[in-house]
Amino acid sequence: MSDSFAQRLLDWYDRHGRKALPWHHDRNAYRVWVSEIMLQQTQVATVIPYYEAFMARFPSVHALAEAPVDDVLGHWSGLGYYARARNLQKAAQQVVTEFGGDFPADQAQLESLPGIGRSTAAAILAQAFQQRATILDGNVKRVLARHHAVDGWPGQTRVLNQLWDHAESHTPTERVRDYTQAIMDLGAMVCTRSRPGCDTCPLSSSCAAYAADEATRYPGSKPKKEKPEKSTWMVILEDPDGRVLLEKRPASGIWGGLWSLPELDPALESDELAEACERSLGLSCQDVTIQAGFRHTFSHYHLHIRPALIAARPQARVADDNDRRWLYRDEALALGLPAPIRTLLTDPGQTALL
């Protein structure tokens, strides 16, 4: 065992740690990997129901590799960061073709797979293979920034490198799987962002921030920047049968790869929408109704969404049948609709449309 830091953490874990999360049973590299990807920037309570449904549908790396991508995205819909889902399937296909269906127990080879970075590779090594490896997620950053009174925002390379150094130096050679879970659990349950439970923390006796009574000063906060305001038209094109036109979004950008209502150039005036639909979608429209807009806030900008209900004339046809489909709402919900668009389609209270 390395230092008393790790030992105190393990003793605490034995009494208070989380040991019955869904990915803790039937533990193998595939199950650990899926959980780690879902848990990136996403809280445990949010992940659990998605994880259960995902594993029921894609129980093995082969099942995931062979599935239609819309099926994978559909199971991810509502979780956010959809590149994770597309990368997940790409990586599954690579594991099958390049590694014979077995995840490599090697840091560099794991990192060669899309969506797996330094910390996720280490988590898989520790959790699935019980190999000594060092993780550094948000919880660990907070614990270490406080324990060593590391100044500055972890987004800065200098600060990040310091945290990695501390993380490496504390990683024990024995019980790495439990240690890795322990330091994350401590961050999630005791060394929380606000109101940390220093009174019950096993590390308080050596914690520099606690000694200075300044736990919440660490880690340093991100410099704040003004979020730009963007705007878009979202058109609810309805054909005489009551079907709605959806289009598959490009793989990059917001809601990448998901099916959503078509967007139109925000510079268009409302009386130009019908003509714009005819031009860009190749179908004839009538009866444009502008709905109340609403603002949606993302990590880096605000988006003002202006919904427009447009009736398509009978026998309307669109170009690009692969990328655009007329669908009844129930069918639409089975696809990878992102949550805000799903709300538009299903919540009459919000839009007074449907």
The contact set with DNA (CB under 7 A) reads 18, 21, 23, 35-36, 39-46, 78-83, 87, 111, 113-121, 137-139, 141-142, 155-158, 181, 184-185, 187-188, 193-195, 221-222, 224-225, 252-256, 297-301, 338-340
3-class DSSP assignment, residue 312: strand
Between 79 and 283, name the residue whose CB sits nearer to DNA.
79
The count of residues in the chain is: 354
Tell the smallest beta-carbon distance from residue 346 to DNA (Å): 13
DSSP of 199-257: GG-TTGGG-HHHHTT-GGG-SPPPPP-PPPEEEEEEEEEE-TTS-EEEEEPPSSSTTTT
Tell the smallest beta-carbon distance from residue 232 to DNA (Å): 12
Tell the smallest beta-carbon distance from residue 59 to DNA (Å): 20
Between 74 and 187, name the residue whose CB sits nearer to DNA.
187
Closest CA to 306 of 318, 292, 316, 317: 292
Instruction: Measure the CA angle with vertex 171, ends 167 and 176; round to 5°.
Output: 130
CB atoms within 10 A of CB 95: 23
**Among all chains, which residue has been given the structure tokens 């790396």?**
61
Between 113 and 203, name the residue whose CB sits nearer to DNA.
113
3-class DSSP assignment, residue 7: helix
Tell the smallest beta-carbon distance from residue 157 to DNA (Å): 3
Structure tokens at 249: 């979004």
Tell the smallest beta-carbon distance from residue 311 to DNA (Å): 27
Of the candidates 36, 66, 111, 229, the residue annotated as catalytic is 36
Between 92 and 274, name the residue whose CB sits nearer to DNA.
92
Closest CA to 238 of 229, 246, 230: 246
Between 15 and 224, name the residue whose CB sits nearer to DNA.
224
For 335, which DSSP code? S
| Phi and psi, residue 17, nearest 5° | -70, 165
Distance separating alpha carbons of residues 353 and 244, to the nearest angstrom: 12
User: Can 275 be counted among the known catalytic residues?
Assistant: no
Between 187 and 202, name the residue whose CB sits nearer to DNA.
187
Structure tokens at 25: 């049973």
Between 136 and 274, name the residue whose CB sits nearer to DNA.
136
| Phi and psi, residue 215, nearest 5° | -55, -45
Distance separating alpha carbons of residues 352 and 99, to the nearest angstrom: 52
Tell the smallest beta-carbon distance from residue 204 to DNA (Å): 19
Tell the smallest beta-carbon distance from residue 235 to DNA (Å): 18
C-alpha distances out from residue 314 to 202, 245, 285, Å: 70, 13, 9
Is there a contact between 276 and 268 (Cβ–Cβ < 8 Å)? yes
Residues recognised as catalytic: 36
